[in-house]
Amino acid sequence: MKRVYLLGAAGSIGLQTLDIIKLNPHDFEIVGLSLGSNHDINHKILNEHHPQIVSLREESHLSIYQSMYPQIDFTWGNQGLIDLATYPKDGLFINALSGSSGLYPTVEAIKHHKDIALANKETLVMAGDLINDMIKTYGVNLYPIDSEHSALWQVLRGESYDDIEKLIITASGGSFRDLSREDLKCVTLENALKHPNWSMGAKITIDSATMMNKGLEVIEAHHLFHLPYDHIETILHQESVIHGLVYFKDSTVKASLSVSDMRIPISYALYYPKRAEYHHPLTLTDLHFKPMDFDRFPLLKLAYEVGRKGGLLPTVMNAANEAAVKLFLRGKISFLDIEKIVFEAVNQFQNKQHPSIEDIILTNDQIQLEIVNRYEKR
C-alpha cells in the first residue's frame, strides 16, 4: 500500500486521481487531502475516501465538517496546506493545486522528506532552481504529472541526459487555434473554456488558448530535465496523441503516445516505478504537425525570454498571467488583455537573480494584488 497526500482533491486532476485510487483501493491509502469550495463534491469525496487529515478552503466551514466527520482532523486555508505537507507520516505528496498557491506546500513537503508528484507546474516555473537544490538536499524524488513531461520522463527512462540532442513538447493550440489574431479581438469566455482535446480546469484551459500554458511547460521542462532553452522546442500537433519527443545525439527519436486522458500520466506517477493496469487504448489515426507560430502566440515567445533571464522574472510572468486569467474569468477584461497585462508586468519589472522562496512568494503576491486592484475597479 502506498500512502498518498492529495492537494487540490476537488479539482480536475484531483478528481481523476481519486478515480484511480477508488478503482485500486488495495494499492493506496489517502493520508490527507485538501478540498475546494464546492460542498457537494467535498462530501462525495469524504464519503468515498477516509483521510486522516483534511484541509478546507475556508475557516467558516470548519465546525460543521468537524461535527459531520469526527474521525477526521480538519484544518483550513494556506496553513492547512502546510499542515498536510508537514504531517508526520511519509507518503507521496501529490500537488494538484492550480496556480502559485502550490509553491509553498511543495517546499514544506520536500523539507519533510515526502516524494512529490507535481501537477502544479507553477512550482517549477517560480522556483525551479531552488526546488532542484532542495530535492537533492533532502533526498526526495520529484515526479511530473503534466502529460508532456510525463511523456518525456517515460521516454527518458533508462537513458542518459547526456545523450539528449533536444526535447520537443507538443501543443494542441487550444480553443482558438483556428482563429487569427484579428479574430481574437471579439472571442468570449464561454468559447475560451472549450478545449478541443482535454477536459481540464478553467485556468489551464485559458492558458492553453493563450499558449501561456506551453510557455510555463517549457520552463517546467528546463527544470525537470536540466536542458538549456535552446534544446527545448514546441510544435503544434492538433490531435494531442504524441505528447513529447526526445531527439538523441545518435539521430534516434523516441516519442510517447496515448489518448488525451490525464488518468494515464497520473497513474504513471502514482505507480512509478511500476505501471498501472488502466484501459484506455489509443486508435491510431492521421497525425498532423505544424511549426510553432510565435507571432500568433507571443506569450510563448515571451516565456522563452523570461525563462532564459531567470531570477524573479518567471514569477512575475506567472503572477501577471494568473491575475489576468482570474480577471478574464470574472468578465473584467478581454481575452487579448491577458497578453497585454503579462507583457506590461514583465517589461516593467526590475529583475533580481537568485531570489529566496520568500522573495518569490512576496513578488507573486504583490504583482497579483496590484493587477487585480487596478482592473477590478474598472
Question: Which residues in this chain contact Mg ion in the complex, by CB under 5 A?
Answer: 146-148
In terms of Cα–Cα distance, which of 90, 9, 94 is closest to 49?
Answer: 9
Question: How near is the Cβ of 229 to Mg ion at its closest, in Å?
Answer: 18
- Of 115 and 148, nearer to Mg ion (C-beta) is 148
Q: In which residue are the cell numbers 484544518 written? A: 75
Q: Which of residues 147 and 210 has its CB atom nearest to Mg ion in the complex? A: 147
User: Shortest approach of Mg ion to residue 187 CB, angstroms?
Assistant: 22
Q: How far is Cα of residue 249 from the mean position of the Cα atoms in its chain?
A: 30
CB 237 within 8 Å of CB 172? yes
Compute the C-alpha angle 19/155/247, nearest 5°.
140
Residue type, 35: L
Beta carbon nearer to Mg ion, 98 or 147: 147
Render 303-359 in DSSP notation, one character per residue.
HHHHHHH-TTHHHHHHHHHHHHHHHHHTTSS-HHHHHHHHHHHHHH----SS--HHH
Question: Least CB distance from residue 148 to Mg ion, whole Å?
Answer: 5
- How far apart are CB 210 and Mg ion at their closest, in Å? 14
The residue with cell 497520473 is 266
Looking at beta carbons only, is 49 or 149 nearer to Mg ion?
A: 149
Smallest distance from Mg ion to CB 54, Å:
28
Q: How far apart are CA 324 and CA 341, in angstroms?
A: 7
Residue number with CB closer to Mg ion (34 or 240): 240
CB-wise, 83 or 148, nearer to Mg ion?
Answer: 148
Q: Check: CB of residue 147 under 8 Å from CB of residue 262.
A: yes
- Nearer to Mg ion by C-beta: 258 or 363? 258
Helix then strand then coil, in percent of the chain rounded to 5, is 50, 15, 35
**Shortest distance, position 128 Cβ to Mg ion, whole Å:** 16
Residue nearest to Mg ion (CB): 146
β-partners of residue 244 are 169, 256
Tell the smallest beta-carbon distance from residue 262 to Mg ion (Å). 9
Residue 144 or 355: the one with the smaller Cβ distance to Mg ion is: 144
132: alpha, beta or left? (left if phi > 0; alpha if psi -120 to 50): alpha
Min CB(357)–Mg ion separation in Å? 24
